[in-house]
């Protein structure tokens, strides 16, 4: 904690209640702040430790890193995951296009899936139950009342469990009432017979002997004990349970989601905001889960609920929390939070209904396909007004000479933020080398070799457009790592070579990607520019 600067320490020690969004540019120590905040919260708020803290990161590499850091800070009540691994036993098995990911990440899906689950409720109508060879009809009005009451604020399967129990009571009353009617009819017939017998006895016996059975010897009603025994029998009756199951069946979230996305007509009805091209795009997706399906599946699983009664949440262990989709954490920390879609934010909110959340990121480094350019755009649709923002304004990594290049890039990206203030200078101005297209691989290899020679004992990295990464890796023979801007996020080297900046700009979110690429170095920045594409 002694190594933290003042603005970092204020964020670490901020109250745990409510969602805190931390905006920090490159080199401002966002991840360090996030992890120290986890340690501080678990120490300062023991009740959070009992429920555990969920740390959501962008990649397995990040999870491996925090897995080694947090135990060193003395904290073990922590579950680390990515959004893709939050659902137990469900993992994406294929990739998808940016356009598909953007469509599936939109906030509208929460309402669409809610409406889908509502449509799965039983249709209004009488329900016929057979019991011991007799038919009993639960009228439509009663069914509508039971369903309406049970569904208020409950998941689909939880509501079904309640309706099942209430139907046991209703059918018990119907059976008891009919049994009473039969007993009353039998009693009335019996009384007529006994009255005739009494009259006959009176005629033949002057002593006035009678049966003594005239009047209401039988009241035509089951006793309380008999009614309870009947209710118990109906409650465990397999044919009765089968009828309720067929009327209100279990629903599989995966099957329902797959069917919805493949049904363009149903999508048009439930999601009119999607145009025909969007619906066709979804319907044409291959089988298997892609990353953007996981938040949809999580939402639908939550709306449907568990088929069996869920167990009580006990004190946290990491293993127990990972196995429970519905675990509610004491606090959730999100790193690289700018990359989350609205539906991924819904995943976060479900795991912290009280919005005890710390989200750190840089909106200007957003690489995801979603359209947000401000934190209001990113979190507003899910968190509403229940969030506040803090800023990390000091860059400890990238030297002043390089940060001077970023203001123009941020403006081109549509950013409303100023770049962070660099606190150190390397004394080395960024340099540019211009080459033609054909000479790009060789020129990159040469420049990388020169940097490696200058930074012996240090580190050198190359950042290039995604389409060039493979060829450049071959040209450099793995002597220096070559990554795309997306792959460079979170990384740093002493010296960085940015190849074909204009090619990076041409990619989706290109200026944001160039901002990432330019800010990876701690000392020296070089750029290799293709002459034909230079503006």
- Binding positions for ATP: 24-31
DSSP string for residues in 242-260: HHHHHHS----HHHHHHHH
CA dist list (Å): 159 to 98, 148, 292, 305 = 37, 9, 28, 9
- What would the two tokens of residue 393 be? 């304004």
d(CA 217, CA 252): 55
Q: Strands (DSSP E) along 344-470, which ranges?
A: 357-361, 387-392, 394-395, 421-422, 431-435, 460-463
Q: Residues annotated as binding site?
A: 24-31
Query: What is the arrangement of strands in the sheet containing 78-81, beginning at the earlier edge strand?
Result: 78-81, 53-56, 331-335, 357-361, 19-24, 387-392
**Residue 316's CB: how many other CB atoms inside 10 A?**
22
Q: At what angle do helices 156-204 and 140-151 cross, to 10 degrees?
A: 140
CA dist list (Å): 491 to 482, 487, 513 = 12, 8, 13
- Residues 6+ positions from 159 with CB-CB distance below 8 Å: 121, 147, 150, 151
Contact yes or no for 413/501 (Cβ under 8 A): no
Alpha helical stretches, state H, 326-368: 342-351
């Amino acid at each position: 904690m002694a190594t933290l600067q003042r603005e970092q320490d204020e964020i670490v020690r901020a109250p745990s209640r409510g969602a805190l969004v931390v905006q920090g540019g490159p080199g401002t120590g966002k991840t360090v702040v996030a992890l120290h905040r986890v340690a501080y919260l678990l120490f300062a708020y023991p009740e959070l430790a009992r429920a555990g803290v969920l740390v959501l990161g962008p990649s397995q590499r990040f999870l491996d890193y925090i897995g080694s850091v947090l135990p060193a800070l003395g904290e073990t009540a922590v579950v680390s995951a990515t959004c893709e691994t939050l659902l137990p036993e469900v993992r994406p098995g294929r990739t998808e296009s940016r356009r598909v990911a953007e469509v599936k990440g939109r906030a509208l899906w929460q309402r669409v899936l809610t409406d889908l689950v509502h449509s799965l409720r039983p249709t209004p109508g009488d329900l016929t139950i057979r019991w011991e060879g007799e038919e009993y009809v639960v009228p439509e009005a009663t069914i509508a009342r039971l369903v309406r009451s049970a569904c208020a604020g409950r998941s689909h399967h939880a509501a079904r469990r309640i309706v099942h129990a209430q139907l046991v009571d209703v059918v018990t009353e119907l059976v008891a009432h009919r049994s009473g009617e039969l007993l009353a009819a039998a009693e009335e017939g019996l009384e007529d017979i006994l009255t005739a017998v009494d009259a006959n006895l009176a005629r033949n016996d002057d002593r006035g002997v009678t049966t003594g059975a005239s009047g209401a010897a039988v009241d035509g009603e089951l006793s309380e004990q008999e009614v309870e025994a009947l209710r118990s029998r109906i409650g465990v009756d397999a044919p009765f349970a089968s009828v309720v199951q067929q009327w209100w069946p279990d629903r599989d979230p995966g099957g329902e989601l797959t069917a919805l996305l493949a049904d363009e007509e149903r999508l048009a009805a439930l999601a009119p905001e999607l145009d025909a091209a969007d619906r066709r795009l979804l319907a044409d997706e291959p089988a298997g889960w892609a990353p953007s399906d996981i938040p949809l599946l999580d939402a639908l699983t939550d709306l449907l609920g568990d088929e069996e009664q869920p167990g009580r949440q006990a004190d946290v262990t990491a293993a127990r929390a990972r196995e429970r989709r519905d675990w509610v954490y004491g606090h959730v920390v999100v790193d690289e939070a700018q990359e989350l879609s609205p539906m991924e934010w819904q995943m976060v909110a479900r795991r912290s209904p009280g919005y005890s959340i710390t989200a750190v990121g840089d909106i200007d480094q957003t690489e995801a396909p979603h359209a947000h350019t401000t934190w209001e755009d990113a979190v507003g649709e899910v968190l509403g007004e229940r969030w506040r923002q803090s800023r990390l304004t000091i860059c400890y990594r990238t030297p002043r000479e390089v940060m001077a290049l970023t203001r123009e890039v941020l403006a081109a990206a549509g950013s409303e933020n100023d770049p962070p203030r660099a606190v150190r200078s390397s004394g080395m101005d960024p340099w540019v080398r211009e080459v033609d297209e054909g000479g790009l691989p060789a020129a990159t290899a040469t420049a990388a070799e020169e940097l490696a020679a200058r930074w012996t004992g240090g580190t050198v990295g190359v950042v290039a457009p995604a389409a060039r990464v493979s060829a450049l890796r071959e040209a450099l023979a793995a002597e220096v790592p070559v990554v795309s801007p997306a792959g460079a996020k979170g990384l740093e080297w002493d010296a960085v070579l940015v190849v074909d900046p204009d090619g990076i700009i041409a990619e989706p979110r290109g200026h944001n990607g160039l901002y990432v690429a330019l800010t990876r170095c701690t000392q020296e920045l070089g750029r290799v520019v293709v002459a034909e594409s230079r503006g």
